Amino acid sequence: MTVMRREPVRSTVIAAVIAAVGYDGATAELEVQFPSGDVDGYYAVPPSVHRALMEAESPGAYFNRHISDRYPTRQQY
């Protein structure tokens, strides 16, 4: 049986360290695309954390303080 992975739709973010953010509420996966083009997936991220990231005055600072070292991650591509 083949399992199809659903890609979250990414939204552009105005930040020096983040180019775009995607979130899949069904799997609690947050995708972060960096200006280099690399994409990292963060897992078990609550919807409230995604919302706060998108509403932050400085998304890069919020990401560094509240996400980057707190959730399991994997570089995707």
Q: How far is CA 21 from CA 2, 3, 13, 34, 46, in A?
A: 27, 23, 7, 9, 14
For residue 54, what pLDDT is reported?
A: 94
Total count of domains within the chain: 1
Establish if 67 belongs to a structural domain: yes
pTM attached to this predicted model? 0.81
Establish if 3 belongs to a structural domain: no
Establish if 5 belongs to a structural domain: no
Establish if 2 belongs to a structural domain: no
Establish if 69 belongs to a structural domain: yes
For residue 27, what pLDDT is reported?
A: 94
For residue 3, what pLDDT is reported?
A: 46
Tell me the residue range of the domain where 44 lies: 10-75
64: enclosing H helix or E strand: helix 59-66
Each of the 77 residues of the chain gets a pLDDT tens digit; together they read 554 456 666 767 767 899 999 999 999 999 999 999 999 999 999 999 999 999 999 999 999 999 999 999 987 65
Establish if 61 belongs to a structural domain: yes
